Amino acid sequence: MNYDLWENITAVEISTVIVEEIVDEMFIPWEAYQGIYYLSRSSLAQSNIDLSLRSHYWQLRRQLELTYCLLLIDPSSQLYNRTLVKEIKGDLPVLTRQDSEWSTLATRLPPPLPSSRHQTMSAVNKLIGDRSFLNTLQQLHQRKIALDRRDRIMTSSSIPNDITNSTYAQTSLQLDGKIINRYCQAILNRSDRNLLLQLHEQSTTAGEHQWRGMIRFMLSLVK
């Protein structure tokens, strides 16, 4: 059983968002995978995505490739492939850099859909069944949703000081005692600024209590 529950938890971060609509988020691994897999320079160039965001999307694709390569050379991973270790280690310096040179390398990720009659879905299914890969995929998917949201705001929003659908206030309570507040610039000029700040203050107090309750519950289960 895992007793190092606190490992990697350095802060409690509470975000408050006003959203247009609250819908249930669904994470379907295959859909998330293909959404990132098909991001390419040409597809981004043809899309309507705001120019300033394209490189961020492009990074998601690089991170997906990098995650897979790191698992291929990890002997403790189920995806480990001994024959590829030397080759991948040669590519890693390029893959870990944020410039675009990595795109000259051939992708090792299996295509989401079999491209020929002889290929099957088993490679993709094995990949999205791997827990480490799935964790990263989920995080990248979350980041992509945030980027999609941001893109929608940038292309459609004509209302000044609109804060809908993006975090307008965030408080980070760090374990070393530091408290960091971040606010979206747009709230400063709004007439309901004080109410928004009050709402975030409420969210923060409630959020912290709720998180503590959750931790106490988990500790009571595993002791």
Q: Which residues bind another protein (CB under 8 A)?
A: 1-2, 5, 8-24, 131, 135, 138-139, 164, 167, 192, 195, 199, 202-203, 206-223
CB of 135 to another protein, least distance (A): 5
In the complex with another protein, the residue whose CB is nearer, 83 or 189, is 189
Task: Please give the span between the terminal C-alpha atoms of the chain, in angstroms, as a whole number.
Answer: 10
Distance between CA 31 and CA 38 in Å, rounded?
11
Q: Which residue has the tokens 């959750």?
A: 214
In the complex with another protein, the residue whose CB is nearer, 61 or 200, is 200
In the complex with another protein, the residue whose CB is nearer, 107 or 164, is 164
CB of 41 to another protein, least distance (A): 30
Query: Please, are residues 161 and 55 in contact by the beta-carbon 8 Å criterion?
Result: no
- The half-sphere exposure of 177 on its side-chain side, counting CA atoms within 13 A, is 0
Distance between CA 162 and CA 125 in Å, rounded?
41
Distance between CA 5 and CA 222 in Å, rounded?
10
CB of 76 to another protein, least distance (A): 13
Pair of tokens at residue 4: 């190092």
CB of 33 to another protein, least distance (A): 17
In the complex with another protein, the residue whose CB is nearer, 110 or 207, is 207
Distance between CA 192 and CA 121 in Å, rounded?
52
In the complex with another protein, the residue whose CB is nearer, 82 or 131, is 131
CB of 1 to another protein, least distance (A): 5
Distance between CA 46 and CA 154 in Å, rounded?
18
